[in-house]
Amino acid sequence: MDVGTGVRTFEIDATRAGRRVEVTTGKTIVEVTEVTRSGTPVRTARFMASRVVALIEHPATRTAARRGQPPPMSS
């Protein structure tokens, strides 16, 4: 994100198992929302689209998907 005096990075993660991040882009606003399984918004960040330098999305890793669950038992 261009903040006038340089570029600043914002990271928005789905913080708990079962949550996801949705990105909505419009003509003037980019909105990033963390939502629960039922679709209830937990938190939202809005940015002016003219200031966004790059938007990078990463898929969830298997270890991140298992967060909150006990580790598998080894035999």
Beta-carbon contacts of residue 29 (< 8 Å; ≥ 6 apart): 46, 47, 48, 49
Backbone angles phi, psi at 24, to 5 degrees: -120, 125
C-alpha 31/C-alpha 5 separation (Å) is 23
pLDDT range class, residue 74, cuts 50, 70, 90: very low
Provide the whole-model pTM: 0.68
Task: Decide which of 49 and 13 is more confident.
Answer: 49
Task: Find how far residue 32's CA is from the centre of its chain.
Answer: 6
Task: Decide which of 35 and 13 is more confident.
Answer: 35
C-alpha 75/C-alpha 34 separation (Å) is 37
* Mean pLDDT on 10-39: 88
pLDDT tens by residue, 25-63: 989 999 999 999 998 999 998 999 988 888 887 776 665
Domain boundaries, the chain: 1-61
